[in-house]
Amino acid sequence: MSPNSQPAAAPPPPAEALRVLSFDMARGERFGEHEHDVHQLVWTPAGVLTVDVGDHSWVLPPSLALWIPAGVPHATGATRPSQMRSVYVAPDRCPVRWAQPTVVAVGPLLRELVIHLADPDLAPDPKSRAEAVLFDLLRPVGVMTIELPMPADVRALRVAQALLARPADPRPLEAWGREVGASARTLARLFAAETGMSFGRWRTRARLRAGLEHMAANRPLAAVAHHVGYTTPSSFIAAFRQETGRTPGAYFAVPQQRRP
């Protein structure tokens, strides 16, 4: 499979509500923007996935999955070697009615159900029972993800792309303005109008998103904080908690779920 090829949607057979397929993804591999006629639950049991929908992006460690409704264009990538488990769900047999991409927590039971349902030899009756439990476990997670919309103006976009490449760069807007040919006031206005947040908050999110990807690779927290521009781990943790509602450790923790 080429780095930019798109996985087939593989809709379930008429008598089944869902089908699970696995895709091995190398670091940096990406499925370009595409859409499916079926709903999709994107999850990795090992690794880190990113999913982009329009200007929004989600970083998914094994403790989180993303529900993508049918017909929503999206692109999926891997920031490290990963195995994507895609659960494709027939809309007419699905009790979940979410109209927008929705993050769900993946606890031990949901994890094992996805693996169980991937078995091609699973008989129809056990499969139907497992599907019903899986749907019951799909509940929105009470945590914000680190979304990072990009500006459209070419000058602001150059700044954004430079910060994604080097998130620890401390230069203020005045210095960036001299580099891209715009005043600090113009850049501040562009970031606010085109990303919905101030330049300072956008840079904070860029740093936290980069940090999330490094933490998923099991780098020490102190090294991660320094790499993305924070002088101490505590300052990184405080910023991370303010944006996501959780500490980095809690963000990666696998929630405990009970069968309903």
Task: Give the residue numbers spanning the domain of 239.
Answer: 154-244
**84 and 116 share one domain:** yes
**178 and 131 share one domain:** no
Secondary structure class of 147 (helix, strand, coil): coil
11, part of any domain: no
**63 and 174 share one domain:** no
Number of domains in the chain: 2
257, part of any domain: no
User: Which residues touch 20 (CB under 8 Å, ≥6 apart)?
Assistant: 85, 86, 87, 88, 114, 117, 118
Q: Is pLDDT larger for residue 245 or for residue 104?
A: 104
Question: pLDDT at residue 1 above 50?
Answer: no
173, part of any domain: yes
158, part of any domain: yes
Question: pLDDT at residue 34 above 90?
Answer: yes
Question: pLDDT at residue 56 above 90?
Answer: no
% of the chain at pLDDT higher than 70: 89
pLDDT computed for residue 243 by the predictor: 87
DSSP string, 217-258: TT--HHHHHHHTT-SSHHHHHHHHHHHHSS-HHHHHSPPP--
**79 and 110 share one domain:** yes
User: Which residues touch 133 (CB under 8 Å, ≥6 apart)?
Assistant: 109, 113, 259, 260
260, part of any domain: no
**107 and 201 share one domain:** no
The total of other beta-carbon atoms located within 10 Å of residue 40's CB is 26
**110 and 174 share one domain:** no
CATH number at residue 160: 1.10.10.60
CATH number at residue 121: 2.60.120.280
**133 and 164 share one domain:** no
Q: State CA 83 to chain mean position distance.
A: 14
**80 and 169 share one domain:** no
Nearest to 207 by CA among 168, 244, 237: 168
Question: pLDDT at residue 7 above 70?
Answer: no
Determine the residue type at 169. D
**What average pLDDT does the segment 175-189 reach?**
97
**159 and 198 share one domain:** yes
237-257 burial, b at 16+ Cβ within 10 Å, e below that, comes to bebbeebbebebeebbeebeb
Chain segment 131-162, per-residue pLDDT in tens? 999 999 998 886 667 888 889 999 999 999 99
12, part of any domain: no
Q: State CA 161 to chain mean position distance.
A: 19
How far apart are alpha carbons 223 and 146 in whole angstroms? 20
**117 and 178 share one domain:** no
Neighbouring C-alpha atoms within 13 Å toward the C-beta of 89 = 25
Q: State CA 172 to chain mean position distance.
A: 28
In the block, residue with structure tokens 């090829």: 5
